[in-house]
Amino acid sequence: MKFLIYGAGVIGSIFACKLQKSGNDVTVLARGNRYSEILSQGVVIQEVKSKSYLSSKVKVIKKLDPDEYYDYIMVVMQKPQVKNIVHILEKNCSSNIVFIVNNALGYKNWAKVIGAERVMIGFPSAGGERVEGIVKYFIGNGAIRLFQTTTFGEYNQKKSKRVKKLIKAFNNAGISSVYCSNMDAWQKYHVSIVTCIANSLYKYDGNNYELSQNSKDILLMIQGIKEGFSVLKSLGYSVTPLKLNYFKLPSILLLLIFKPLMNKEIAEITMSKHAVVAIKEMKCLQDEFDILITKSGIKTQAIDKLRSYLRRAYVQL
């Protein structure tokens, strides 16, 4: 299949390399230094645990022309950046546009511009950092899938042939993927979690190891997540995916899960380092979730406290 990876950051690079190596025709849209890196050396990724390298000489472009057709365009970028490319996507002839973007307020506006029938939604279970042109990465497999799995769905919430085909391509590429019928709810619950985690980390300037030593702050993070779930439930969104119902456990039991987790390298790679470089995105996501909080009318004392850490980090940018 023919893929365009629109965005050459960590996730886009992982997708590009893995999909190309599994036999797909992959093009990456990149700009600036990243364009030059990929043009000269291809996409190079290094698995964190095994330290093994994988490189792929993918095609790279700087802009998307209207008549360039791809089976799937994978939009992999931070939420604030999407507004700059929606009209570019609108003019392109490709039928399947997959938004791999944190989003708490839904896809109605994007669907209105590019056509609802073209919109697909997904999100990865992966992370990492780019160092001197090499992406050091982690893909969520095994026990990590209890927390999050790479997931795809349709804007119209129907399981189509094209989403099945996409999931098969990702599984064949070694990126374990599943289907969800309601990706809007999935994304809202995801944002309710990641904002609380990121905001907790900002108190410690992104240092997850320091956060792991303070049970009180981890409990505040957990309480914030629980408040976020209450907000979404009050607005009629069922817990999605269902496995997130483990957050119904008493906070003290969840502390036994999150305290050791935050003390591991996986938390540094997939949570801390992303939070540090994505403060503007987290501010955008918190602002979006605050709209839902206001709409629900629910008091969110823990989220209010966590938000103050985000504001401090944002001011210091």
Q: What is the pLDDT of residues 181-233, one digit of tens each?
A: 999 999 999 999 999 999 999 999 999 999 999 999 999 999 999 999 999 99
Q: Are 261 and 221 in contact (CB under 8 A)?
A: no
Flag the least confident range among 34-48, 124-138, 241-255: 124-138
Confirm if 156 and 142 have CB atoms less than 8 A apart. Answer: no
Instruction: List every span in the chain annotated with CATH 1.10.1040.
Output: 186-315
Could you give the strand order of the β-sheet that contains 25-29, starting from the edge strand earlier in sequence? 59-61, 25-29, 2-6, 72-76, 97-100, 119-123, 150-154, 177-179
Mean pLDDT of 149-172: 97
CATH code assigned to 186-315: 1.10.1040
Q: What is the pLDDT of residues 262-285, one digit of tens each?
A: 998 888 888 898 899 999 999 999
Predicted TM-score of the model (pTM): 0.94
Contacts of 139-148 with C-beta under 8 Å, sequence gap 24+, read 139/14, 139/47, 139/174, 139/175, 139/176, 140/176, 141/176, 144/266, 145/176, 146/243, 148/190
The CATH architecture to which 2-181 belongs is 3-Layer(aba) Sandwich (3.40)
Distances (CA, A) of 65 to 4, 72, 78: 12, 15, 22
3-state secondary structure 284-315: HHHHHHHHHHHHHCCCCHHHHHHHHHHHHHHH
- Residue type at position 291: I
Angle at 31 between CA 26 and CA 34, to 5 degrees: 75
Higher pLDDT: 274 or 237? It is: 237
Cα–Cα dist 250/81, whole Å: 38
Span(s) in the chain for CATH 3.40.50.720: 2-181
